[in-house]
Each structure stands twice: as structure tokens, then as C-alpha cells.
Amino acid sequence: MSMKEKNSIFGNLKSDIPSSIVVFFVALPLCLGIALASGAPLFSGIIAGIIGGIIVGSLSGSQIGVSGPAAGLAAIVLTAIATLGNFENFLLAVVLAGIIQIIFGVLRAGIIAYYFPSSVIKGMLTGIGIIIILKQIPHFFGYGTDPEGDFAFLQVDGENSFSEIFMMLNNISLGPTIIAFIGLAIILVWDLVLSKKSKIFKIIQGPFVAVVVGIIYVIFTQENETLNVVGKQLVSVPVPSDFSSFLGQFSFPNFGAITNPEVWIVAFTIALVASLETLLCVEATDKMDPEKRVTPTNRELLAQGAGNFISGMIGGLPITQVIVRSSANIQSGGKTKLSAILHGFFLILAVVLIPNLINYIPLSVLAAILLIVGYKLAKPGLFKKMYDLGWKQFLPFIVTIVGIVFTDLLIGISMGLLVGIVVILIKSYQNSHFLHIIDKSNGKHKIKMTFAEEVTFFNKGAILKELDQLPEDTFLELDVRPTRYLDHDIIEILEDFSEKARQRNIDIKVIAEKVTVENPPSFIEFFRLETAN
């Protein structure tokens, strides 16, 4: 199958449809929970999820990223609604934030995505994985007074990530716990055993089966006071009595408040934070993408801006690309943007056609799905791998994790980034960073690329751009003889590029001081060997 066919939006239906169903089940409670944590109408979270899936998914250049309401914006939204006086004034700020993001995209501000160190991005993914696990444990056992989607350490109910678990120990509910363990067992057996037996078990995903079994369990035990699952232990989608009441759930911005300076302050705040979270997520999802595709960041800002503009116009929360849904998409085998788009349509169908059935889904089963997502993001082996890479990689990694777990996403990222910069300053002296590109077209298109004396993650954007623009049927001569310091981030870029090079018929010759190798099987091993020699 050619690269064009692989990336075709309809060329991977057997992978994208099942993954979109899993993303839908993950997104639904998060949309509702983030709206609740934000002090906004519940339906506003659903609107944001629909727009994030259909509109942003269609416009984005990301093949595996999924957008929707972001947990990281919940505190900002909660404060903004109170500051601006009502939800309609806040919606105007969301509309303006979308316009500002479009301007960011036009000004090509997306380039900042390339200046986050790999260790910080990996720390972000691991930290979010740990947060997911901590936040889902109470819901798994039927307690969970904190709304889904509140990922901050200090919760809206006055508890924190750890005290909530201790409170849960005295409030375990039998029914939700039983079906949660059943759901978890189904997912694990499906993933580890059945999916290897037959293709049908890859098409029908384990999480979907777990949710169906959960609904059946709730229906058959609803009269049993010991084993039933009730109230806040279930998904709670608004159920309109008729079509007019359904339409009544939409809200519209108050354009009369456009002269209010506080509206503009909120708009700029949302635009900045949403753009930063999106770019961080883009960098992270690109790293997780099995096919190592590169998302055009400026196009992503344009797509997010369009999504926020439309979401604000019809009563939705602010939108970003979000790592939880994107991770679920990747782990479920999603291949193209069709998965994200379809999950948006499933949200529409759920709230329009079957809201009563959706409200039979136990949150504990959805918690089981998210626990798997969290574990795959925060595998214990990753800590050892990062430690083995040395303190320059491990320190920013661990600081980012601690910051995210005990504060929130942006503070944790800022802490990790600061440590990463300090590490670079300590280990490096001031030097110019540049690339020499020499086109020696003679027969097969030949490109010679020479690295500078020091190459760090600050050079990542330029190198990634040059490698991505290399034409097919090229001979790349990579000269690293002048290089005395080569950051691990750059080695990872070369490692990812080597996989794409084979698909694009690009031959690689690496020239080092002690050894020259054509098409090295592993750049990481090559540079480790070169350093050792």
C-alpha cells in the first residue's frame, strides 16, 4: 500500500471506525465532566466535543489527533464566566479567541511547537498518564465525587488527587466495582489474547464490548439495591423532552459586550493557553504516531481557531487538541483523521437519538478504559529508559511529571522546560547552530547535510523541516564529523526519519570521524557506538 493510500481518509475504515467508537466512549464523560468542572451548561461540553471532532478534525493536518474541550482550561473558564457576568458574554470571548488563534496561524506562530525538548514531552505524556490513573481510581470503585475531566491536583470539590482516593476507601460501591472489574477483564483479554486470534476481534474493540456489557448489567441490576449502579455512578447526558427543548440547549454570544475590555482579556488568555496546549499535544501525538507523520502546526492553529469560533457561536466550550482522546485513538489503532471526525458524529447521534440508553453506561466501566489508556502512557519501563539516557534527559522528564501531578499541565510543562533549558546551558557553551545544505544533482538527486559543532533541541524545527522537504529518490549524505554535541532529540528525529526514508526511497550515508555507514539500521545505536569509540 502506498503512502498516499495509507493516509487516505477512507483507506483505513476497518481501523478508523472501531477506534472512533472507543474515542467516543472516552470523550463523552470528559465532555460532560469538563463542562461541570467549568461551571458551564453540560451541553456546552458536548457541543465542543462535536465541533472538535467534525470541524477541527476535518480542517486539521493531524491524522491521529483528537480535539475537544480541554481539562486544562476548566479553571480559566470557571473564573471567566464569573468575571464576565454570564455565559453569553463568555461565549463572545470564545469567538474572539478563535479569531485570535486564526491570526496566530496566519503569522506562523506554530513553529514554537518544535522548541519543546523530547524529555519534557515524554514527561508530559507520563504525567498525564499518572493523573488519569489517580483520577479514575475513585470512579472505578463507584465513588468519584469529582467530575470527570477535572485533572488538576486541587479539585473543585475541595479534595486533591490523593485525598479523593483515601475518601474512596470508605465509600466503595459494590455494583460499580463488580462491573468495572468485568469491563477491565474484557478489555485485557481482548487486547492480549483475542485480538491475536482473529481479525474480527480487532474490528470489534474490547472497550466497546465492555460498555455494552456494562449497560446490560445496569439494566438487569437496577432493582437490586446491593448490586445496582445509580445516580452519579452513571453517565448523565441531558435528555430533552422534544425537539424544541433540544434546540433550547444551544446558547449564543452577546455581541453587545464586545466593547468590554474584560471580554478581550479573557479572549487573549483562552487563545494563548489553548494554542499552547494544542501545540504541546501535537508534538506529543506526533511522537506516538506509529507512522511518524509530522503535523503542520500553523494549519493546526488555523483549524483550532475555526473550531473555537464556531463552538463559541453556538454555545460550546473552548477547544484544544487533547492528549487523552488522542492517546485513546492511537492505542485503538486509529490511522487517519476519519476516526476523530466520526467520533464527533457519534456524539451527535448519542445526544439526539439515544440519550436514555447512553445514560445507562456506568462511569466505572469508562474508568476501566481510561485506566488502560493511563497505564500505556505511563509504563514503568519508560522511567528506566529515560534514566538510562542520562541525567540531562531524566531530570527534565521527572520534573515535568512531578509538576503536572502536583499542579497542572501548563505549570508542569513550564517547570520541565525551565530545567531543560538550564541543563542545556550547563552542558553547552555559546556557539552558532546551522545546517549546510549542498545540492550536488548528478544522476540520483544528492543532498549533503552537515551538522554544526553543537546541535540541540533548539535546532529541531530547522532539521525536521529540511528532512521533511527532501524529495523522493534522494541520496542523503549526513556529515557529523564537525559535531561534538548531538542532542538526543536530534537522534530521535533521525531515527524517525529513517523509517520514512525507506518508504520514500531515500538512501542515507552517515559520515562520522571514525566510521562511515550507509543506511544505518539504528541511529541511536550508531551514535552510541561512535561516542564509545
User: pLDDT tens, 394-442?
Assistant: 999 999 999 999 998 889 999 999 998 888 776 653 443 455 556 655 5
- What lies within 8 Å, CB to CB, of 172 at 6+ separation is 141, 142, 143
According to the model, what pLDDT value does residue 450 have? Answer: 85
381-387 LR contacts (CB < 8 Å, sep 24+): 382/122, 382/126, 383/126, 386/119, 386/122
pLDDT band at 466 (very low <50, low <70, confident <90, very high): confident
According to the model, what pLDDT value does residue 375 have? Answer: 95
According to the model, what pLDDT value does residue 436 have? Answer: 56
- Which of 61-70, 317-326, 335-344, 497-506 has the weakest average pLDDT? 497-506
Alpha helices for 141-247 (secondary structure H)? 161-168, 174-192, 200-203, 206-221, 243-247
Return the CATH number of the domain spanning residue range 435-532: 3.30.750.24
* pLDDT, tens only, 222-235: 999 999 999 999 99
Q: What is the pTM of this model?
A: 0.86
- Which of 120-124, 393-397, 441-445, 509-513 has the weakest average pLDDT? 441-445
The more confidently predicted of residues 4 and 196 is 196
Closest Cα partner for 134 from 153, 147, 118, 117? 153
Taking the domains of the chain in order of start, what are their residue ranges? 10-371, 380-427, 435-532
DSSP strands (E only) in 9-72: 67-69
Which residue is associated with the grid cell 496561524? 105
According to the model, what pLDDT value does residue 158 have? Answer: 79
According to the model, what pLDDT value does residue 114 have? Answer: 84
Average of pLDDT values for 107-116?
A: 89
Residue 150 has pLDDT above 90, yes or no: no
The DSSP bridge partners found for residue 509 are 477, 518
The more confidently predicted of residues 361 and 240 is 361
According to the model, what pLDDT value does residue 251 have? Answer: 95
What's the mean per-residue pLDDT of the chain?
A: 89
Amino acid in the structure at residue 330? I
- Which of 313-317, 418-422, 511-515 has the weakest average pLDDT? 511-515
Residue 471 has pLDDT above 80, yes or no: yes
Instruction: Tell me how far apart the alpha carbons of residues 389 and 74 are, in angstroms, rounded to a whole number.
Output: 36
- Which of 124-133, 193-202, 446-455, 523-532 has the weakest average pLDDT? 523-532
